[in-house]
Structure 1
């Protein structure tokens, strides 16, 4: 089963931060561009010199990922046990 999601939902869930945290170890990142209203209009992989995020960004990222897991734990558990 696949269910398409928006880049905004991916970002707000903390998943974009999490994946970029991993990608930074290899000098890569997923980059997004927004329009004048803040909607994500384009996303692409890119090489980067970044090797991590600030403490505040990491704290926010862990909070978002933790909330996502809390809010979706039952569904995730059911999916892997079907």
Structure 2
């Protein structure tokens, strides 16, 4: 098998392993908050800009930024833990299956 054919096969397999999600889905799952809890350690954060469009909050831009603050309020952390726990509860079987494939 030639190398370019090998790369093409690998690429096709990888594409099948990727499912694009929206920033809203990422944020609603609590993973946006979770990633920022780690990034804050290094003085970084993912920032999301939200606008109301037709009465609904829509994430219109996301970018990395240097920040001078660390951590979140207790209420934000509690909400984040609840969201991540729900995400895990709702997706644990699929996550376990993928990890063992």
TM value normalised by structure 2: 0.78
Structure 2 counterparts to residues 65-80 of structure 1, below 5 A:
65-80=84-99
Corresponding residue to 2:37 among 21, 34, 45: 21
TM value normalised by structure 1: 0.96
Question: 1:18-73 CA deviation, whole Å, 9 max, x = no partner?
Answer: 00000001000000112232211110000001200000110010000000000000
Larger Rg over CA atoms: 2
Unaligned runs of 5+ in 1: none
The number of equivalent residue pairs is: 82
Q: Which runs of 4+ in 1 moved over 6 A?
A: none
Q: Relative to total residues, which structure has the larger helix share, 1 or 2?
A: 2
Unaligned runs of 5+ in 2: 1-16
RMSD across aligned C-alpha pairs, in angstroms? Answer: 0.8
